[in-house]
Amino acid sequence: MRKNFAGKSKNMTFLGMLALMSAASISFNSCHDVKDKKESEKMISQEYPDAKPTSSIDNENVETDKRVIYLTFDDGPNQGTENLIKVLSKKNVCATAFLVGKHVYGSRKQKNDLELLRQNPLIELANHSFTHAHNKYTEFYKDSNAVVRDFDIAKDSLKLADKIARTPGRNIWRLNNINATDIKSSTNAANSLKKAGYKVIGWDLEWKPTNKMALKGNHEAMLKKVDSIFFNDLEKTSRHLVLLTHDQYLADSDSINELELFIDKLQKSNKFVFRKISQYPKINEILN
C-alpha cells in the first residue's frame, strides 16, 4: 500500500511544493531534551545570531504530514569534523556522529575535535568500530568474535553511553524489527553484534563522494533522492529516513555550502523533523 506523503500525488512532490513555502517557515526539530533545549539554543544563538529557532514535537510520534530525517556522519573525528560542527550549529539541526576509535589518536586536532563533538548538544556520538576493519572488510567480518571485540574497544575508549553502532563498509541493520545485511558473508558477525547488545543501524540514502573526497553532486539532486525514497516507500521504517555521509567530505567550501543548502531547503519546506539516531523507532527496545 502506498504511503501518503503530506497528501502528495504523482503530480506534486515536496520538491514542487518548496517554491510555495515561505522562507520564514520554522523547522520542526526535536533535537533536544526539554532540560537541554534552552541552554543549547542560548549557546547557538550567541555564535550564530541568524540561526532559526526550533520547535519541538513529541519524541515518539510524528505528525502525519511530517517526515523524519536522521543526519549521520561516519569516520570522525576526521578532516572536516570541525566544519560539520559549524554547519550543524549554524543551521541549529541535530545529527549523529558515528566515530572510529583509532581516529581519536591520529592527531592532537582529532582528539580536540572529539571534545568539540562531545560538548555540542546538537550532536550525539555512536560507535563505528575502533579499527574501521583496517579497511579490509572481507577479512574483518570472517571473525565474529574479533568484530565484537573491536566495537567493545571503541565503546570503552570513546566512553560511549549507548550501544548504537554502524558497521564499517557494510549497510547492516540489527534491531528487533529490522534485520538486513547487504553482503551475506557478514551475517554471522552482524548477528554476534546484536547478541552482544549492539543496535546496528545502516542507512536509507548515502551522499557519496567524488574521487577528490568532496560531496558528489549538488543539494538539488539529493533533495530529489529524498523525495523519491519517501514517495516510493523505500525507507526501512515508514516516514523515517537515515542519511549517511562522512566528515571527511566536508573539507572544501563547495561541499560545506551544498550541505548547508540541503539542510536549509528541508527546513524551509516545513515538512521534516530532524532527529538523532537514538530517537529512531524502536531502537530503545531491549534486543531479543
pLDDT tens digits, one per residue of 136-163: 999 999 999 999 999 999 999 999 999 9
Stated pTM of the model: 0.85
Average pLDDT for residues 116-125, to the nearest whole number?
98
pLDDT digits (tens, 9 = 90+) for 100-114: 999 999 999 999 999
- Residue 39, class by beta-carbon neighbours within 10 Å (0-12 exposed, 13-18 middle, 19+ buried)? exposed
Q: What percent of the chain has pLDDT over 90?
A: 77
pLDDT, position 63: 84
Taken in order of first residue, the domains within the chain and their CATH numbers are 77-279 (3.20.20.370)
b/e string for 48-77 if b means 16 or more Cβ within 10 A? eeebbebeeeeeeebeeebbbbbbbbbbbb
pLDDT digits (tens, 9 = 90+) for 22-72: 333 333 455 744 334 444 445 445 554 555 444 333 445 778 889 999 999
pLDDT digits (tens, 9 = 90+) for 232-279: 999 999 999 999 999 999 999 999 999 999 999 999 999 999 999 999
Q: What percent of the chain has pLDDT over 70?
A: 79
pLDDT, position 62: 78
User: Residue 17 carries which side chain, given as an amino acid letter?
Assistant: M
